Structure formats: structure tokens, C-alpha cells
Chains A and B, each alone.
Chain A
């Protein structure tokens, strides 16, 4: 017994490790499902690997199985991995009980409802501004809905941008005591900004254009940025107007801060998917269009079930009562019904998170249907 102690111990531990792997494989697939990574260099005899592993996935969807790519992977995994902010109330905010609420979070749920039939099958990944690009590039997230501005560089390097879900602009918030009314009054000021954002670049451009000296105070995370501003380490903070409004509600004295009227740039915010997957891009794109179209057609969370039997051919097609359009995307035919019953139409999503009944009370403005003077225009669903 003693002579073979080491091999026996090794076998027992190996067996346990394998048991851990094996046990997991009969269960539903691990959402973060992974293999222990091989260290990059040494190839010496295998170390014990921690049993966090890739499980044999269980087929879960009854729909037509797409051939390859991310859509198939999401369906196999039975969970959508959505990159979000996590610290921006109204858009994506991690509540104390662990749920994620907000405008962007609801769009994540819409995509999950469309693909998996269940809006709760989402794993929210909180990403700071610097991490979201690499997260897309490495394919760590399936879709990034994190108040991300559509730019050429990002379109070509990070991923493909879906239709804009929120038209915003960059603004500057200052302490009311400083008595600054326009951006020119901020000569010599210290301005807080987050790194890795378009706001950082736009601020530089605008100040250069106006030939105003200023000192940037750059932070990697969103929370320290606003904390520094509130503590007084910066005179002003700049970001998307919606973000400034959202963060201001969390200040100790919101009325002591004023958002200047200057608009520094266009900030069209929308969902982003990794490059190289047209099928998945189409899915996400049409989820957005469906939600907008639903508002245009008057379909709400309350009446979607009865609208299925509508006589209006546009609605019938949208809700899958006619035609095989869902299958062309690789989804169930009635996927729009799932989406609307889960999160409602665009207007409902907006009102629930940013509307007059919330602390933010953001006006629809450009974020209204084209029929109401806004820029939201869904492509024909046929």
C-alpha cells in the first residue's frame, strides 16, 4: 500500500476531478462553460485541472437548427451573454438583489426572448468602457448593448452596429456654483472623462476647435469618474446627456449641478455584435426593428396576444400569423410575440426605464417614431 501511495492518491484525485466534469455534463450546459486553459508555454506533464469545464451541451430548442455560428452557439448554450454597463441607472443597473434593470438591459432580454423564448436566459456582463471593445473582439459577449456610440473605427474593428436604439448627444455637467453657462466659460477647468469613450475624443476635438485650455482627468471606470466630480476633484464632467441625467439623479444634491446646453457631438447608441457573423447580425438587427415596428403598429405588451389574429396583414406578418419570415432569420415564426410579451414595444421599454414616471423623465425627442417627428424608422418586415 505504502509503495503505491502516490499513484493511488493521484488516481483518486483524478477520479474526483473527472467526476466533477462528468457530473456537470449531465446537467444543463454551463453558461460560462469553459475548459481549463493550457498555460501558453510549458508542455510538461498535465497538472490537475480545476473542474470548471466545457459540458456536453444539451439541445434545447425545437426550432430549425441553424447551421453554424453564434446563433447556433447561443441556442446550444441556452443563454445569451449580453455586455452591459451595470452602473448606469436607467440603462443597465445592477440592483442589490442581483437583477439588471434598464433600457439596454431590456433590449438584451428582447434578444434572449427572440432567440431562446425566455427573456430571463441572459447573463449580463458588466464591462467598463475600455473592456467593451476587446470583449467584442474576442467574442466574449454575444451582443454588446452598453450605450455604445456608432463610429467608423468601431464598426470596422469592434463589431457591427445594429440600428440605433437611442439618439443622444454629448453634453457637459458643471457645478451650478461655478456660474458657467457655456462651454467657453470652462477655460482652465479640470474636466472628468472616462477613457476609451468617444466623449474623451470629442472633448479634445471641441476644445481644440475653440482653442480653450483645459485639464482632462481620465478614469477607467464610470463610478470613480462621477465620484471625483462630486468630490470636487473636477469642475465639470462630460458624457452622453442621457448618462449625465441618469448619474445626476444619484447625486446627494442633484439640483446643485447643471447640464450645459452645448451639444458637443452626435452620439447614436446601439447594439453591437462581433464581426464576421451575418446571420447573428440579422437576428439582432431585426429584433430592434420589430420592437420599433410594434410601437408603430400599436402592438403593446397587453394586446399582443389578441393582435395575433389581427386582420391587418402587416401585423399578421410581424407576429408570425402569416408567412415564414421568422424561419428565414433562423428563429421561431412567432418570435416577435415572444419579444413583445416579454418587454413590450419600444415606447413601453422607453417609458418603463426613462419615461415621465421615472426619476429621469427624458423627453423622447429624436427617440420617437418617424411618424411623430423622431428618427426611429423600422425597415419593412416582409
Chain B
């Protein structure tokens, strides 16, 4: 605060010493400077873009893409539009991020608890894992994993795992579920089974209540038999001349990316979880023990809810980091949003528009994720009296 007195009626402070005037003037100056800078930069940008034939516009989204994408969750071919290609990239990113977040959280929990274990070996192994992962760049880890996966045998010599699963350097081929027309009917049976189980919880006397749970298994099984045609079939991968057809294949690019992201983020989540559990005051645990609660109950009912308060905010930023780090897929050939946009920018000759679109999309993903996590955060925060 400056030492200028407030101007009141009749105190007659000169305007240039009046705090309110100074505040407004300062803001005007700042906005003016920023505005001037922005205008200068924008002018340069527009002139340069004009000169060099760089367009800005989103009309290209409707034109034919002309390039193929190797992994597409929705049907896409080279005759589709750039807009659809962008969507395919976005779906790939979201898919990898979502699966990555789930797996990283699980692994992170394990790592965090392992770090707190009293077993020396488990503790040190987890610590070693965290130190190595945290101190090496993610990109190096991704390249390493991808190169490692490439060392697997070729397609012709795939490792055959039980269950019709084949592992080779191009990826993992699994039998895929095939849905037949009777699926709808069978799902109705499943719903019925769940409904019966829930109803039994309220209707049956206490002793035999758990038998109601059997309904979840029995009713769908009856439905499967009754319907005749299996609602879910299996499409096994079959080795053709070059590749496996049928089934679903998790490419080595996808696997390397997912593994890299999960291993990397899990190390950080492990540390966050450890910090959260350590933050719970010892007195709480001691009191719970004094009350005779079992270790499992203590962890679940006393430690964890309190730890969650500390864990959730940094956990949010780790999730966001994972989503943003998925953009490194370009380095190992997985067609995520960024990778597809690079091809688009190149083929359309409008890299500026494409970059703007991509940044906007990532920004939206980040904002939505942190919004959801903030809602959850509010729920676990301490309700002050």
C-alpha cells in the first residue's frame, strides 16, 4: 500500500496521489501495454501469414483427408474428412488417457502402500522403482519400452499364450467379443438378475439375505441357455500371411505408450499416496487400535478417508499430466490427437489453424478433468463445523 491518504470529500488530495486514480491508471497502462504488444504481434502474424500463403480457417475440416490411420476406434477410411480424422485422434487420446488413469491409480496405490511397508525388501524395491522412474525422462522410457517390445519375436513366430492370445513384436492379439442379435434379450436377463439381488436384500430375512446375490449369476446363466444363440461370441485372431486377422490387436505402439504412461505416473501417484497416508496423524491410528479395530478396518475406515483429503489435489494434477503426456505418442507412432494433427497440418498447409485446434482441445480436456476432480475433492474435504 502506498502512503497516499484516501481522498475523501473535502480532503483535496491531488489526483496523482489519489490511490483510486493510481489503481485505475495502473490497470489502464498495463492493459494498454499488453494490448499494444498483442496488436504488434498480431499484425506481424497476419502480414507474415499473408506473405507466405498460410491460411487461417477451418474450412479444410470438410475436405477429404486422403491419409490412413493405423488404429481407429470408430470406422475411418482415407475417404473421410479431416474433421473425422481429428475425431479419431481425439478418441485415441481419450482412450489411452482413460485406461492409463485407471491403471496408474491402481498401480500407484500398490506402490504407495508398498513404500510404507515394514518389509525391507518390498519397501526398498518400491523406493528404487520410484527413484528410477522419477529421475529419467518419460520420452526416454517410451523409446526404451518401444524398442524393448520390438525385440519380441516376429509375427510368424508369435508366442502363443493360453486362451488364443498371441504376443509378437507388432502387438498383442486377443480374441474379440462378437455381439449377436440376442444380446439385447440377454442383457435383459442380466438386469433382471441384478434387480432380484437388490430386491432380495430388502425382502429376505437377515440370515439368508446373501443368497440373493446368487441371482446375479443364476439368472443370466439361465438366459444364456434359454436363448439358444450365444449373445456374445468369440472371434479369435487367425494368422494370415502377414498379420493376424480377426480378434482385436493392441499394437505395440499403444502398449508401449500405455505401459510407459502408467509406469511413469504410478511412481508419482505412489509418492502422493504415501504422503497422504503419512499425513494422517498418528493419534488417529493409535486411537483406532485402542478401540480394537482390525488393521484392515483401520486402513479402510480411519486412514484412507483422511488421507484422501490430502491425496486428491495432487492426484488431479497427476491425472492431468498423464493426459498431457499422452501427446508423446507421436514419438512412437501411435496415432493420437497430436500425431494426427501433425499430418493434418502438413497435408492441408495450414499448420497454424491445426495447432490452435489442438491446443484448444487439450485445454478443454484439462479443464473438464480438473472440474470433475474438483467436484470429487469438495466431497472428501473436511466439512468444517
- List A residues at the B interface (Cβ < 8 Å): 38, 40-43, 129-130, 133-134, 136-139, 153-154, 156-158, 178, 186-190, 195-196, 200-201, 203-205, 208, 215-220, 224, 228, 231-233, 235, 274-276
Chain B, 137-169, contact with A by CB distance < 8 Å: what is the 0/1 string?
Answer: 000000000000010001100000000000001
List residues of chain A with CB within 8 A of the CB of B169: 231-233
Q: Are B346 and A208 in contact (CB under 8 A)?
A: no
Q: Are B150 and A233 in contact (CB under 8 A)?
A: yes
Q: Are A188 and B242 in contact (CB under 8 A)?
A: yes
Closest B residue to A276 by beta carbon equals B51
Closest B residue to A186 by beta carbon equals B242
Kindly state whether residue B377 has any CB partner on chain A within 8 Å. Answer: no
Q: Are A200 and B67 in contact (CB under 8 A)?
A: yes
List residues of chain B with CB within 8 A of the CB of A134: 345-346, 351
User: Which range holds the interface residue count of chain B?
Assistant: 35 or more
Q: Are B70 and A232 in contact (CB under 8 A)?
A: no
Q: Are B150 and A188 in contact (CB under 8 A)?
A: no
Q: How far is the CB of B169 from chain A (nearest CB, A)?
A: 6
Chain B, 45-59, contact with A by CB distance < 8 Å: what is the 0/1 string?
Answer: 000100111110000
Q: How far is the CB of B38 from chain A (nearest CB, A)?
A: 8
Chain B, 321-351, contact with A by CB distance < 8 Å: what is the 0/1 string?
Answer: 0000000001101010001001101111111
Give the docked Cα–Cα distance between A332 and B55 (Å): 37
Q: How far is the CB of A233 from chain B (nearest CB, A)?
A: 6
Closest B residue to A192 by beta carbon equals B333
Which of A178, A187, A204, A232 has the largest number of chain B CB atoms within 10 A? Answer: A232
Q: How many A-B residue pairs have CB under 8 A?
A: 126
Give the docked Cα–Cα distance between A134 and B343 (Å): 12
Q: Are A224 and B333 in contact (CB under 8 A)?
A: yes
Give the docked Cα–Cα distance between A168 and B115 (Å): 60
List residues of chain A with CB within 8 A of the CB of B350: 157
Looking at chain A's contact residues, is the secondary structure mostly helix, strand, loop, or mixed? mixed
Kindly state whether residue B374 has any CB partner on chain A within 8 Å. Answer: no
List residues of chain B with CB within 8 A of the CB of A40: 41
Give the docked Cα–Cα distance between A157 and B55 (Å): 8
Q: Are A195 and B242 in contact (CB under 8 A)?
A: no
Q: Are A178 and B70 in contact (CB under 8 A)?
A: no
Q: How far is the CB of A234 from chain B (nearest CB, A)?
A: 8
Closest A residue to B50 by beta carbon equals A276
Chain B, 213-243, contact with A by CB distance < 8 Å: what is the 0/1 string?
Answer: 0000000000000000000000000001111
List residues of chain A with CB within 8 A of the CB of B339: 195, 218, 220
Closest B residue to A196 by beta carbon equals B346
Q: How far is the CB of B255 from chain A (nearest CB, A)?
A: 13
Give the docked Cα–Cα distance between A297 and B30 (Å): 67
Q: Are B346 and A233 in contact (CB under 8 A)?
A: no
Q: How far is the CB of A134 from chain B (nearest CB, A)?
A: 5
Closest A residue to B79 by beta carbon equals A208
Q: How far is the CB of B162 from chain A (nearest CB, A)?
A: 25
Q: Are A157 and B242 in contact (CB under 8 A)?
A: no
Q: How far is the CB of A227 from chain B (nearest CB, A)?
A: 9
Q: Are B70 and A215 in contact (CB under 8 A)?
A: yes
Partner of A201, one of B54, B347, B348: B347
Closest B residue to A274 by beta carbon equals B52
Q: Are A195 and B346 in contact (CB under 8 A)?
A: yes
Give the docked Cα–Cα distance between A275 and B343 (Å): 21
Q: Are B34 and A41 in contact (CB under 8 A)?
A: yes
Give the docked Cα–Cα distance between A235 and B241 (Å): 10
Report if A233-B252 is in contact (Cβ < 8 Å); known contacts: A196-B346, A216-B68, A218-B70. Answer: yes
List residues of chain B with CB within 8 A of the CB of A153: 347, 349
- Please give 19 more A-B residue pairs, beta carbons under 8 A apart, in addition to A43-B37, A218-B343, A232-B155: A42-B34, A129-B346, A130-B345, A134-B345, A157-B53, A157-B54, A157-B350, A187-B242, A188-B240, A188-B243, A189-B241, A189-B243, A190-B242, A195-B346, A216-B70, A218-B339, A220-B330, A220-B331, A232-B169
Partner of B66, one of A129, A205, A231: A205
Q: Are A195 and B342 in contact (CB under 8 A)?
A: yes
Closest B residue to A185 by beta carbon equals B241
Report if A231-B78 is in contact (Cβ < 8 Å); known contacts: A139-B52, A216-B68. Answer: no
Q: Are B333 and A219 in contact (CB under 8 A)?
A: yes
Q: Are B41 and A138 in contact (CB under 8 A)?
A: no
Q: Are B342 and A137 in contact (CB under 8 A)?
A: no
Kindly state whether residue B279 has any CB partner on chain A within 8 Å. Answer: no
Q: Are A196 and B351 in contact (CB under 8 A)?
A: no
Closest A residue to B149 by beta carbon equals A233
List residues of chain A with CB within 8 A of the CB of B154: 232
Report if A218-B333 is in contact (Cβ < 8 Å); known contacts: A43-B37, A232-B169. Answer: yes
Give the docked Cα–Cα distance between A134 and B37 (Å): 24
Q: Are A275 and B242 in contact (CB under 8 A)?
A: no
Q: How far is the CB of B145 from chain A (nearest CB, A)?
A: 14
Chain B, 100-142, contact with A by CB distance < 8 Å: what is the 0/1 string?
Answer: 0000000000000000000000000000000000000000000
List residues of chain A with CB within 8 A of the CB of B346: 129-130, 133-134, 195-196
- Between-chain CB contacts (< 8 Å), 21 pairs: A41-B34, A137-B52, A137-B53, A157-B55, A157-B350, A158-B349, A186-B242, A187-B242, A189-B241, A190-B170, A195-B339, A200-B67, A200-B343, A208-B79, A218-B333, A218-B343, A219-B333, A220-B331, A232-B154, A233-B150, A235-B242
List residues of chain B with CB within 8 A of the CB of A133: 346, 349, 351
Give the docked Cα–Cα distance between A40 and B44 (Å): 12
Q: How far is the CB of B53 from chain A (nearest CB, A)?
A: 5
Kindly state whether residue B33 has any CB partner on chain A within 8 Å. Answer: yes
Q: Are B66 and A196 in contact (CB under 8 A)?
A: no
Give the docked Cα–Cα distance between A295 and B245 (Å): 54
Give the docked Cα–Cα distance between A289 and B170 (Å): 47
Q: Are A208 and B78 in contact (CB under 8 A)?
A: yes
Chain B residues numbered 24-48 whose CB sits less than 8 Å from any CB in chain A: 30, 33-34, 36-38, 41, 48
